[in-house]
Homo-oligomer: A and B are copies of this chain.
Amino acid sequence: MKIIRRKSRVVKIGSVCIGGKYPVAIQSMVKTKTSHIEKAVQEIQGLKKAGCEIVRVAVRDSSDAVGIKKIKQRVDLPLVADIHFDWRLGIKSIESGADKIRLNPGNINKEAQIKEVVHALKAHGVPLRIGVNSGSVRTFNDRRSSMADKLVTSCLNYVRIVEKLRFFDIVLSLKGSGCLDTVEAYRKIAKRCDYPLHLGVTATGLPLQGAVKSSIAIGSLLLDGLGDTIRISLTDESRQEVKVAQIILESLGMRTFRPEIISCPTCGRCEVNLVKIVKELENRLSTIDNRISGRPLKVAVMGCVVNGPGEAREADIGIAFGKREGLVFKNGKPIKKVAYAQAVRALLKEMEAKWRLRTLKK
C-alpha cells in the first residue's frame, strides 16, 4: 500500500516549505507566555531538539507581539503568531517578523479587519493559516448543520474573502474535538481547494487519550493522502506532542526519525523479561542521529518462536527468544545464539559494526 498524497499548493513558512511533495512538517505550540522571552526561548530550543520544525506562539497583547522579535533573534525555527479577537496584534506580529499568522474565523471576521491583515501579509511576504476550531466556530445562524459542515462553511467563507483580496499563501485547519467531526471536515475541504492542510484534533485531553484520538484522526487522513503539516495537541509538555507526531509519521512510512523497534506483546509462551530488554534497547537507541543511520533501522525483539524468527528476519537486526537463549538475525539471516542477559549488548554490537552508530548511548 502506498499513500498517494493530495496535490496541494506549496506555502513557505520561514525556511520550511509545506505542501506539494514536501515532507509533512511537524509543529507544536509553546505553552509558556510569549512575553516571557527567556522561558519561551528555552521551550522552543527544547522543541527543536525534539524534532519540531515549526513553532507557534500565543499573542495575547502587544508585549507578546514585540516578544516575537526578541525570540526570533535567538531561535531559528519558523515562528507562527496565534492571533485571536484583535486583528491589530496580527499586524504587530507581522512587523515583529512572524513567519506565519494564524487567524481564527470564529473571532476575527470583519472584512475590513481581514483586509488590513492581508495587506500587511502581502507587504511582508508572510503566509496565513485560516484556523477554524469546533470550540470557536461561527455558525452564521446555521443551527442545523453538523459540526463538520460548520467548520467547512466557516473556513470556505473566509477563504473567499481572502482570495477576493488576491492573496493565496494560505494554509487551512479545521479541528474538531472529536475524531469523526475532524476527519469529515478535512475530507470535505480537501475536495474544495488545493491549499495545504494543517491537521490536528483540538482539545484531545491527557497524553494517552490525546495520542489515541490524534493518531486515529490524523492517521486516517494521512492514509487518505491528506495533510501537509501536523500538530498533536496534548494536555502535556509540548515535546511530547512532537514525539507522538514523529511516531505517527514513522508508522505510516512518511518520515524517518529513530530506529523502529518491533516487539511482541508477550504471552504465556515468553520465557524472558521482554519489557525490560525492549525498554533498555529503546533507551540505548534513543540518541541515534537519524542522519547517521540514514534510513530507519528496523530492530525486532520477539519473545518466542511463533512470530519471532519471521519478524526478526524482516528486520535489519532482530532477536527471537526461545527457551534459555535468543537467536540473533542480521540482514534476514540467523547469525548466532546468545544468553538472555547478553541480548541487548549483542544487538548493539551488531548494529555498531554494521552502521557505525558511534552515537549509541553507553
Give residues in A with beta carbon < 8 Å to B.
Answer: 1-3, 29-35, 40, 56-60, 64, 82, 84, 104, 106-107, 133-137, 146, 148, 177-181, 183-184, 202-206, 208-213, 215-217, 219-220, 223, 233-236, 238, 241, 243-244, 247-248, 251-253, 260-270, 274-275, 278-279, 282, 300, 302, 306-311, 314
Summarize A's interface: helix, strand, loop or mixed.
Answer: mixed
Q: A235-B278, A267-B31 are in contact. Are A183 and B1 (CB under 8 A)?
A: yes
Taking CB atoms, residues of chain B closer than 8 Å to A275 are 235-236
Tell which of B56, B235, B243, B252 touches A179, judged by Cβ atoms closer than 8 Å: B252
Taking CB atoms, residues of chain B closer than 8 Å to A31 are 265-268, 270
* Residues B58 and A203 in contact, CB atoms below 8 Å apart: no
**What is the bound-complex CA distance between A132 and B242, given in angstroms?**
33
Q: Which residue of B lies closest to A253 (CB)?
A: B180
* Residues A60 and B269 in contact, CB atoms below 8 Å apart: yes
Tell which of B136, B253, B268, B279 touches A178, judged by Cβ atoms closer than 8 Å: B253
* Residues A84 and B306 in contact, CB atoms below 8 Å apart: yes
**What is the bound-complex CA distance between A277 and B228, given in angstroms?**
33
* Residues B268 and A60 in contact, CB atoms below 8 Å apart: yes
Taking CB atoms, residues of chain B closer than 8 Å to A274 are 235
Q: A58-B268, A220-B223, A268-B64 are in contact. Are A306 and B136 (CB under 8 A)?
A: yes
Q: A57-B268, A268-B31, A268-B32 are in contact. Are A208 and B136 (CB under 8 A)?
A: no
Given pairs A209-B247, A233-B265, 10 additional interface contacts (CB within 8 A): A1-B180, A30-B267, A30-B268, A31-B267, A56-B267, A177-B262, A177-B314, A206-B278, A216-B216, A216-B223
